[in-house]
Amino acid sequence: QVHLEEAGPGLVRPSETLSLTCDVSGASVSIYFWGWVRRPTGRGLEWIGRLYNSTTSLNYNPSLKDRVELSMNTIQNQFSLRLSSVTDADAGVYYCVRVWPPYFYALDVWGQGTTVIVSS
Amino acid sequence: FVLSQPPSASVALGQTVTLSCGGRNFGNENVHWYQHRPGQAPVLVIYDDDDRPSGTPIRFSGSKTGNTATLVIGSAEAGDEADYFCQVWDSRLDLPVFGGGTKLTVL
């Protein structure tokens, strides 16, 4: 069974960079599609981006692409998110997910989520 | 949001509720539905319009016709109270797009 777990600081100062990691167990991070979704406070789900096989297939939400960087560490079987120049609008819960092509690219596995607060 | 969903819906305990998702001609796109309970991770409850992952109760069913996809929850239980989001994979942008979500209240 695939299990995802997010980790990272819960508090980020405005204009600084948010860094999160997602630890993957039950599957190799190098052979599936993985991504990040967030739920800003009081709003709906928002796609951030996805990666596959380290850097061969990266895709970002156009509204965030100038600030987002995704990466993968196959040795530690994890993938990461960096979001620069954060503002209040970036506060919320961040989830790492698996994108499952056999389910027509549904997001079939989700981490429990990590809450991010933006405050000085 | 690219997909439109009513912001709220309610259903009496044991009754049936239909949640809708629209705003575009789905054509060959596959619609997925997620249940998001407060404080928990979202859960995929329907994929490919009408398929249930293992673990989704048979009370949950999905369908799609033209410009509208629907999620039907039968014999509603207190635990069904959650936000429900629809989603498709936009092949042009190569990313998923979500509806704004419907907050379901079980009375």
Mutate to test the interface with B, among A70, A94, A105 (most CBs of B within 10 A): A105
Rounded percentage of chain B residues whose pLDDT exceeds 90: 82
- The confidence score (pLDDT) of residue A54 equals 64
A106·B93 Cβ contact <8 A = no
Kindly report the average pLDDT of chain A as a whole number: 92
B17, B75 Cβ separation under 8 angstroms: no
Q: Per-residue pLDDT averaged across A9-15, rounded? A: 95
Q: Determine contact, residues A42/B97, Cβ cutoff 8 Å.
A: no
Which distant-in-sequence residues (6+ apart) come within 8 Å of A19 by Cβ?
Answer: A8, A9, A80, A81, A82
What's the pLDDT band for A36 if we cut at 50, 70, 90?
very high
Q: Looking at residue B93, what is its pLDDT?
A: 84
**Per-residue confidence (pLDDT) for residue A33, from 0 to 100:** 92
The Cα–Cα gap between A83 and A66 comes to: 9
Q: Phi-psi category of A62—alpha, beta or left, where left has phi over 0 and alpha has psi -120 to 50?
A: alpha
Q: Which amino acid is at B20?
A: S
pLDDT of residue A15: 96
Query: Which residues are bridge partners to A58 per DSSP?
Result: A51
CB pairs under 8 A between A and B: 67
- Identify the sign of the CA torsion A61, A63, A64, A65: positive
Question: Best interface-test mutation with A: which of B2, B19, B31, B47 has the largest number of A CBs within 10 A?
Answer: B47
> In Å, how far is B92's CA from the nearest CA of chain A?
12
**Arithmetic mean of pLDDT, B61-74:** 95
Give the whole-angstrom CA distance, residue B27 versus residue A117.
39
Residue A31's φ and ψ, nearest 5 degrees, are -125, 10
Q: Which residues in chain A touch residue B34, judged by CB atoms under 8 angstroms apart?
A: 45, 107
* A107 contacts in chain B (CB < 8 Å): 32, 34, 42, 44, 87, 96
The whole-number average pLDDT for the span B91-99 is 89
Interface mutation target, options B36, B52, B84, B102, chain A, most CBs of A under 10 Å:
B36
pLDDT at residue A116 in the model: 97
Structure confidence by residue, pLDDT tens digits, A40-94: 988 999 999 998 876 666 788 889 989 999 999 999 999 999 999 999 999 999 9
Interface residue ranges in chain B relative to chain A, Cβ cutoff 8 Å: 1, 30, 32, 34, 36, 40-44, 47-48, 51, 53, 83, 85, 87, 89, 93-101
- Average pLDDT, whole number, for chain B? 94
- A45 and B40 in contact by Cβ < 8 A? no
Amino acid sitting at position A44: G
What is the predicted pLDDT for the residue at B23?
87
CA distance A68 to A103: 26
Question: Which pLDDT band holds residue B66 (cuts at 50, 70, 90)?
Answer: confident
Q: Say which residue, A62 or B75, is predicted with more confidence.
A: B75
Tokens of residue B5, six digits = 């969903």
At residue B25, the pLDDT reads 86
Please give the order of strands across the beta sheet that includes A18-25: A3-7, A18-25, A78-83, A68-73
